[in-house]
Structure 1
Amino acid sequence: MKFYAYTLFLCLFFSFASPAKAEEYNLVIAHEPVNITGKTVEKITINGTIPGPTLRFTEGEDAIIHVTNKMDEDTSVHWHGLILPGEMDGVPGFNGFPGIKPGETFTYRFPVNQTGTYWYHAHSSEQEQDGHYGSLVLVPKGKDPIRADRDYVVLLSDFHDEDGKDIFSNLKMSSEYYQYARRTIGDFFADAEEKGFGKAWANAKMWGEMRMLPTDLSDVSGYTFLVNGRTPEQNWTALFKPGERVRLRFINASAMSIYDVRIPGLKMSVVEADGQGVEPVTVDEFRFGVAETYDVIVTPKEDKAFTIAAESIDRTGFALGTLAPREGMKGPAPQTRPRALLTMADMGMGHDMAGMEGMDHSKMNHDMPMGDMAGMDHGNMGHDMVGMSMEDMQSGWAQAGTPPGDKALSYADLRYVGIQADTRQPEREILVRLGGNMERFIWTINDKKFEDSGPINLKYGERVRLKFVNDTMMAHPMHLHGMFVQLENGQPAEKLPNKHTVIVAPGQTYSVLLTADQPGEWAFHCHLLFHMSAGMMNKVVVAKLDPNAVPPPKASTTKAAPQKEKPEQADPHEGHSMPMNHQGMDMKGMDDMPSMDHSTPQKNDTSSNQNSSHGGHDAH
Structure 2
Amino acid sequence: MASSPTVQTLSRRQLLKVASALGLSTAALGLRPTWASSAGLSNLYPQGVEQGNEISLTVRRESLPIAGKMGKPITLNGTSPGPLIRLREGQDAVLKVTNLLDEETSVHWHGLILPPEMDGVPGVSFAGIAPGETFTARFPVIQNGTYWYHSHSGLQEQLGHAGPLIIDAAEPEAFTYDREHVLLLTDWTFEDPQDVFRHLKVAEGYYNYQERTLADFFADVAENGFADTVKQRSMWEQMRMSSRDIADVTGSTYTYLLNGHTSKDNWTALFKPGEKVRLRVINGSAMSYFDVRIPGLKMTVVSADGQPVQPVPVDEFRIAVAETFDVLVEPEAGRAYTIFAESMDRSGYASGTLAPRLGMVAPIPERRKIADRGMEAMAAHGDMDHSNMQGM
The yes-or-no answer on 1:73 pairing with 2:86 is: no
Which letter maps to 1:29?
V
Tell me if 1:135 matches 2:164: yes
Task: Determine whether 1:377 maps to 2:390.
Answer: yes
1:99 Cα deviation from its structure 2 partner: 0.2
Give the distance between the partners of 2:346 and 2:52, measured in 1 at CA. 44
1:350 CA drift (Å): 8.0
CA–CA separation in structure 2 for the residues paired with 1:176 and 1:194? 27
The residue aligned with 1:154 is 183
- The DSSP-based 3-state class of the residue aligned with 1:30 is strand
**1:49 corresponds to 2:79:** yes
User: 1:121 is matched with which residue?
Assistant: 150
Paired residue total: 340
- Whether 1:174 and 2:187 are equivalent positions in the alignment is no
Aligned partner of 1:291 in structure 2 is 322
Whole-angstrom distance in 1 between the partners of 2:298 and 2:85: 28
Over residues 134-170 of structure 1, what are the superposed CA-to-partner deviations in whole Å (9 max), with x where a residue is unaligned? 0000001243443111111111111111122221111
Report the CA distance between 1:269 and its aligned residue.
0.9
CA distance in structure 1 between the partners assigned to 2:382 and 2:199 by the alignment: 35
SS at match of 1:129: helix
Contact 1:77/1:123 (8 A) holds in 2: yes
- Please say if residues 58 and 100 of structure 2, whose CA atoms lie closer than 8 Å, have aligned partners that are also in contact: yes
1:320 aligns to what?
A: 351
Output the CA distance in 1 between the equivalents of 2:306 and 2:204.
34
Query: Once the two structures are superposed, what CA deviation does each residue of 1:365-386 show, in whole Å capped at 9, x if it has no partner?
Result: 6xxxxxxxxxx4189xxxxxxx
Please say if 1:342 is aligned against 2:373: yes
Task: Give the alignment partner of residue 103 of structure 1, picking from 132, 137, 146.
Answer: 132
Q: CA distance change for structure 1 residues 352 and 65 in 2, over 3 Å: closer, same or farther?
A: closer
Q: Does 1:225 align with 2:238?
A: no
Provide TM-score, normalisation by structure 1.
0.53
Note if contact 2:345-2:370 (Cα within 8 Å) is conserved in structure 1.
yes
Aligned to 2:338: 307
Per the alignment, in what secondary structure is the counterpart of residue 118 of structure 1?
strand
| 1:261 paired residue among 281, 292, 298 | 292
Residues 344 and 350 in structure 1, CA contact (< 8 A), matched pair in contact too: no
The match for 2:310 is: 279
1:465-504 equivalent positions in 2, closer than 5 A: none
Aligned residue number for residue 85 of structure 1: 115
2:151–2:162: 8 Å Cα contact kept in structure 1?
A: yes
Q: How far did residue 210 of structure 1 move? A: 2.8
Matches within 5 A, 1:408-427: none
Q: Does 1:165 align with 2:160?
A: no
- Amino acid corresponding to residue 220 of structure 1 in structure 2: V
Measure the CA separation in 2 of the matches of 1:212 and 1:246. Answer: 43
Judge conservation of contact 1:22–1:61 (CA < 8 Å) in 2: no
Alignment of 1:408-447 (within 5 A): none
Match of residue 53 from structure 2: 23
Distance 2:234 2:321 in 1: 33
1:38 correspondence with 2:68: yes
Counterpart for residue 61 of structure 1? 91
Matched ranges for 1:592-603 at <5 A: none
Give the Cα–Cα distance (whole angstroms) in 1 for the partners of residues 322 and 87 of structure 2: 20
Unaligned 5+ segments in structure 1 are 1-20, 355-360, 366-375, 380-620
Superposition pairs of residues 519-558 of structure 1, within 5 angstroms: none
Structure possessing the higher radius of gyration over alpha carbons: 1
Asked if structure 1 preserves the Cα contact closer than 8 Å seen for 2:67 and 2:261, the reply is no
Pair 351,55 (structure 1): closer, same or farther in 2 beyond 3 Å: closer
Q: Which residue of 2 aligns with 1:456?
A: none
The 8 Å contact of residues 22 and 62 in structure 1, kept in 2 or not, is answered as: no
> Which letter does structure 2 place at the counterpart of 1:251?
I
Q: Distance in 1 between matches of 2:53 and 2:382?
A: 54
AA at the equivalent of 1:258: Y
Q: Which residue identity lines up with residue 63 of structure 1 in the other structure? A: A
User: How far is the alpha carbon of 1:301 from its aligned partner?
Assistant: 1.8
The answer on whether the counterparts of 1:119 and 1:133 sit within 8 Å (CA) in structure 2 is yes
- Structure-2 separation of matches of 1:344 and 1:329: 44
Q: CA 1:347/1:48 → structure 2, altered by over 3 Å: closer, same or farther?
A: same
The AA in structure 1 aligned to 2:104 is D
Does structure 2 retain, via aligned residues, the 8 Å contact 1:345–1:351?
A: no
Alpha carbons of structure 1 residues 349 and 98: separation in structure 2 relative to 1, 3 Å: closer
**TM, length-normalised to structure 2:** 0.83
Code of the residue aligned with 1:239 in structure 2: it is L
Q: Which consecutive residues of structure 2, in runs of 5 or more, have no partner in the other structure?
A: 1-50
Task: Give distance in 2, aligned partners of 1:146 and 1:82.
Answer: 22
CA–CA distance in 1 between the matches of 2:237 and 2:309?
44
User: What RMSD, in angstroms, separates the aligned Cα atoms of the two structures?
Assistant: 1.9
The 1:208/1:330 distance shift into structure 2, 3 A limit, reads: same
C-alpha distance in 1 between matches for 2:222 and 2:205: 29
Letter in 2 for 1:296: V
Q: CA, structure 1 residues 233+22, in 2 after alignment: closer, same or farther (shift >3 Å)?
A: closer
Where does residue 430 of structure 1 map in the other structure? Answer: none
Q: Distance in 2 between matches of 1:261 and 1:349?
A: 24
AA paired with 1:257? S
Report Cα offsets for 1:583-615 as digits up to 9, x if no partner.
Answer: xxxxxxxxxxxxxxxxxxxxxxxxxxxxxxxxx
The DSSP-based 3-state class of the residue aligned with 1:120 is strand
- Give CA-to-partner distance per residue, 1:106-141, whole Å, 9 cap, x none: 111111000000000000101001100000000012
